[in-house]
Amino acid sequence: MNDDLILEDNWTGAEGANANGIPVMVRYRQNIREFIDTGSYPTKIEISWLYDTDEAAEMPTPGEATVMENFEAALIAALEGDKQSILVAVMTGQGEKHWQWYTANARMAQERIDMALLDFETLPININTKEDPNWNDYFDFIADFGGAA
């Protein structure tokens, strides 16, 4: 799948705050224009995790943050190896963490996610898919944080 495309692990991070001053951490992948331009990734998958906050920072507790990191690593291993799906953005704050992926095949991606989840206890996640062939959600996300694709 898309063997000619190079998926760099090049990310931009940003810190922000909502209107109430609650911190939000974001990161998004740069240098993915070739993936966008192929038209081969028309579906966005968003995985959301509601978490108990560390009250001082509104971020996940250290233990939950570690599970989230392991979960993300498992998904990357399951989805990105053959570039079937690519992780493009992550947002953490206000009691929620969101991973945004674009995929060539939502059904296949869901099967791979299900297999990756077998290594974990039940997690407080929701998975939603949306057709977004022009990557409008991705562009809106990075525009909010001053970036470019």
All structural domains of the chain with their residue ranges: 11-144
> Which burial class, exposed, middle or buried, applies to 41 when counting CB atoms under 10 A from its CB (0-12, 13-18, 19+)?
buried
pTM: 0.90
In angstroms, the CA 31 to CA 10 distance is 7
Q: What is the pLDDT of residues 87-144, one digit of tens each?
A: 999 999 888 999 999 999 999 999 999 999 999 999 999 999 999 999 999 998 888 7
The architecture of the domain spanning 11-144 is: 2-Layer Sandwich (3.30)
